[in-house]
Structure 1
Amino acid sequence: MVLDLPAGDRFALCAATLPAALVAGRSGPSSDGLCAADLIISDGRVEAVLPAGSAPADIEAADLGDRMVWPCFADMHTHIDKGHIWDRQPNPTGDFDGALAAVRADREARWTAGDVETRMDFSLRCAYAHGTSLLRTHIDSLAPQHRISFDVFTDMRARWKDRISLQAVALFPIDAIDDEAYFLDLVEVVAQSGALLGGVTFPMPDLGRRLDILFRAASDKGLDIDLHVDETQDASVLTLLEIAEAKLRNGFEGAVTVGHCCSLARQDEDKAAATIEKVVEAGLSVVSLPMCNMYLQDRQANRTPRSRGITLLHELKAAGVPVAVASDNTRDPFYAYGDLDMVEVFREAVRIAHLDHPLEDAATLVTSRPADILKEPQAGRIAEGGPADLVIFNARSWSEFLSRPQADRIVMRNGMGIDRRLPDYRELDPLMRG
């Protein structure tokens, strides 16, 4: 797309098409969830959102020709510490157990601070070029990796603070909580890093006791929690329900996010409805990772998969649960593909989960909704007085937007277009040898 943006401190973007659900305070009419507007940009911020055709005539303007304008994206569940290791540590079976084994082998052999830093930075450059301004990553945190990777993350967060707002979550198997010395050290590292407690939950004897320890530790340190939950097609797995009950039982006042929750979609209607009711009561937020879960789950050699591997997004949303979708893994044994491009995530989620017809507020799943869950309400929306962090697409309608990858998009940060060149995979070649 060729579009000359004004270079001054104050200018107009005229004849823009905006997703109405992403315009803060808007209550006017829309068609299919889209509205026409002129945007006034001043000193890197959105000065005004005006009816189309009403921008002042005395300021420089760019005619967008009804192109869509979105706020920058919020990608609330990623794994940038393990990203881009596929070429040196593939997962030949393509399933969950194969992914666990491959990542474990790679981590133990190669995850030095320099290795993690290089791959994290590469991932963030991809996300930034695609238009993401807010990102949460889970960090593999078994000892001694937690001290290596959180030091790298802390440095990366400072280095990237003017481009992407970063959050981190400690990722470890919930049974490791029984190693008291390790867990106490992990909690200290997380607290010092301004991060979140997390973990991979799965059915086990005495899971409730372990969850109580996790909630108490988070409460004592004032930490929020983000958990991997029920990443399976086994309908008998009900740890989501146990987590909701544990939050209520402990009177935990922090935010709790649960990711995946795939088995919920395999349960009968009554069981699923009861679990969702408890999720609402506990005030949990849910993030679905449709691309990764479709890749890993229901995979058997020479057999077509029968299940999509996603949670009950429609039912959760209808019940009032905050829901979002995100990238998850990128070019690692859990997902061989991806580029931290939230347009790809959105397009695939719409198709996989039938988020269309209507599409009025679907865009919130990758913008304002995850931003709210991540407690950064200034992100993921177009607001008067807010930052002019915008993405301009050469599409005028939902059909045009969803039918192409929008590779020619323009990303604006603080009212200025950025260099959207993606990093070359060849940069990672030195990490793939040996």
Structure 2
Amino acid sequence: MSETPPPRTFAELRRSFPEERAFRIENARAPLCLLAAHGVAGDAHGFARVDVMVEDGRIAGIGAAGGFHLDGEDLPKLDVGGRILLPRLVDVHTHIDKGHIWPRRANPDGTFMGALTSAEADREANWSADDVARRMDFSLRSAYAHGTGALRTHIDSVGKQTAISWPVFAELRESWRGRMALQATALFPIDLIWQDEAEFREIVAAVARHGGVLGGVTYLGEAPGARLDAALDTLFQAAAAEGLDLDLHVDESLEPQARTLERIADAALRTRFAGRVLAGHCCSLAIHDEAERKRVVDKVAEARIAVVSLPMCNMYLQDRASGRTPRWRGVAPLHELRAAGAPVMVASDNTRDPFHAYGDLDMLEVFREATRILHLDHSSHDWLRAVAATPADLMDLDRAGRLEAGDPADMILLPARSTDELLARPHADRLVIVAGEAIDARPPDYAELDDLMQR
């Protein structure tokens, strides 16, 4: 432990951050559920006091505060006084190809259909390679500044847009390599499979060529039937043939007939699909009766399907009617899904576009709002996994979402010392550490996109 008392303010801590390539962070409070270290015990709130040794951009060692000894006792030390230390977080469901178009194409009434028609109109009018690249890069710089270490985005893959957006994403993924791990998922309506098989095959080929994930939107307003089952079989078989994982938009509605999640689980079991499957939204599952919901939840767990809820976007869109106070929260039943054994996550979804007018790809904000909306508090103490280790596993990133010796020294140091302090404020003054170095954690200026918004 350091012989000098810890700095009195977080601002002093920031100014004291070591510039050397090797140093120790001491007396940090880290979530036990995101730690891989021996001899570390958690407190009643799920946090453990730890020291972290950083060397050449990686975590050289991590252990219990005051009881952890490695070579390097003479290294610069930063005693953080029990502040919370997190790994960089993982955002598994975003739409950065749509991001930041709100100033030129707002949602006229805040409804899902208003969002759909507005986004489609903007895509047809404006989504050139340059337009998409600039808005996507702006989104990534925002996420990076807030402490996101890995991100998956859905990419509209219909008509001409497939050939435009996927090469743009591939270039951005390469330019961001080493700073943020990026993945992409094709987004198209499931009925395309039976309406235009040739275009569907082109989408599959583009996804495979660019190392992506195969997706789709499975609820389009009609009750599921044999045609949907056949389309799902085709989708699962195409993914298996190309060695692709699946990431689907599912039942993003509070309409009673939105019931495709169970059909997806049936298809996964029927085809014996070996890849990963992620189901996003699953809003209507919350309005099923108790017996039906339990049956579907158990089947989802049996099929090894993971579920991501998008609480901020779905609160914005779902159960909206002019002059009427919403009755439903529009979120999936994550507590029940997790209890059944299904991996569960929360993520950002849309940012400043017709589907969600707000947000900034800040996973700390997502976790704070998810805790309030989904009542993650007064529950177990490992819900931080839903924005870190669990999506990292889903994305097959074994060096993300955890604090472990040998991993890159990618961390977020926060002014907070407890869960209530963590969730009470936005913490815009957080310290984001990438490869052992504190980065300039200032999001880009909205004015950068002004010329695009004049179109």
TM (norm. structure 2) is 0.94
Give the alignment partner of residue 136 of structure 2, picking from 113, 120, 132.
Answer: 120
Q: 2:32 & 2:154 partners in 1: Cα distance?
A: 31
- Whether 1:311 and 2:327 are equivalent positions in the alignment is no
Corresponding residue number in structure 2 for 1:192: 209
- 1:44-72, Cα deviation, whole Å (9 max, x unpaired): 11111122124664221011011100000
Q: 2:352 & 2:116 partners in 1: Cα distance?
A: 14
Corresponding residue number in structure 1 for 2:166: 150
- Whether 1:291 and 2:304 are equivalent positions in the alignment is no
- 1:13-60, Cα deviation, whole Å (9 max, x unpaired): 011011111101456421110111111111111111122124664221
Q: 2:224 & 2:107 partners in 1: Cα distance?
A: 26
Give the alignment partner of residue 339 of structure 1, picking from 360, 366, 391.
Answer: 360
Give the alignment partner of residue 33 of structure 1, picking from 46, 60, 63.
Answer: 46
Look up the SS of the partner of 2:330 in the other structure. coil
Q: Which amino acid aligns with 1:108?
A: E
- Whether 1:399 and 2:420 are equivalent positions in the alignment is yes
Corresponding residue number in structure 2 for 1:80: 96
Q: Which amino acid aligns with 2:77?
A: A
Q: 1:164 & 1:87 partners in 2: Cα distance?
A: 27
Look up the SS of the partner of 2:332 in the other structure. coil
- Whether 1:18 and 2:30 are equivalent positions in the alignment is yes
Q: Which amino acid aligns with 2:410?
A: D
User: Any residues of structure 2 matched to 1:383-394 within 5 Å, and which?
Assistant: 383-394=404-415
For the 8 Å contact 2:62–2:68, the answer to whether it is kept is no
Q: 1:108 & 1:353 partners in 2: Cα distance?
A: 36
For the 8 Å contact 2:39–2:64, the answer to whether it is kept is no
Q: 1:254 & 1:108 partners in 2: Cα distance?
A: 33
Look up the SS of the partner of 2:216 in the other structure. strand
RMSD, aligned CA: 1.1
Q: 2:224 & 2:159 partners in 1: Cα distance?
A: 22
Q: 2:258 & 2:20 partners in 1: Cα distance?
A: 57
User: Any residues of structure 2 matched to 1:198-213 within 5 Å, and which?
Assistant: 198-202=215-219, 203-205=223-225, 206-213=227-234
User: Any residues of structure 2 matched to 1:50-61 within 5 Å, and which?
Assistant: 50-54=63-67, 57-61=73-77
- Return closer, same or farther for 1:26/1:342 CA change in 2, 3 Å cut-off: farther
Corresponding residue number in structure 2 for 1:46: 59
Q: Which amino acid aligns with 1:79?
A: H
Q: Which amino acid aligns with 2:58?
A: R
For the 8 Å contact 1:292–1:329, the answer to whether it is kept is yes
Runs of 4+ in 1 over 6 A off after TM superposition: none
- Whether 1:249 and 2:249 are equivalent positions in the alignment is no
* % identical equivalent positions: 53
- 1:274-329, Cα deviation, whole Å (9 max, x unpaired): 00111111110110000000100000111110000000100000111000000000
Corresponding residue number in structure 2 for 1:370: 391
Give the alignment partner of residue 102 of structure 1, picking from 103, 108, 118.
Answer: 118
Q: Which amino acid aligns with 1:250?
A: T
Corresponding residue number in structure 1 for 2:451: 430
Q: 1:253 & 1:388 partners in 2: Cα distance?
A: 33
> Cα distance, 1:177 vs. partner?
1.2
Q: 2:206 & 2:291 partners in 1: Cα distance?
A: 41
For the 8 Å contact 1:14–1:55, the answer to whether it is kept is no
Q: 2:146 & 2:320 partners in 1: Cα distance?
A: 30
- Return closer, same or farther for 1:53/1:25 CA change in 2, 3 Å cut-off: closer
Corresponding residue number in structure 1 for 2:185: 169
Q: 1:55 & 1:181 partners in 2: Cα distance?
A: 60
For the 8 Å contact 2:229–2:267, the answer to whether it is kept is yes
Q: 1:426 & 1:88 partners in 2: Cα distance?
A: 13
For the 8 Å contact 1:20–1:26, the answer to whether it is kept is no
- Whether 1:180 and 2:189 are equivalent positions in the alignment is no
For the 8 Å contact 2:32–2:42, the answer to whether it is kept is yes
For the 8 Å contact 1:12–1:55, the answer to whether it is kept is no
- Return closer, same or farther for 1:88/1:366 CA change in 2, 3 Å cut-off: same
Q: Which amino acid aligns with 2:201?
A: L
- 1:187-213, Cα deviation, whole Å (9 max, x unpaired): 111100000110000145410011111
- Return closer, same or farther for 1:37/1:401 CA change in 2, 3 Å cut-off: same
TM (norm. structure 1) is 0.98
> Cα distance, 1:124 vs. partner?
0.1
Corresponding residue number in structure 1 for 2:5: none
Q: What residue ranges of structure 2 are gaps of 5+ in the alignment?
A: 1-9
- 1:155-178, Cα deviation, whole Å (9 max, x unpaired): 010011111100000000000112
Give the alignment partner of residue 153 of structure 2, picking from 137, 143, 167.
Answer: 137
Q: Which amino acid aligns with 2:138?
A: F
Q: Which amino acid aligns with 1:29?
A: A
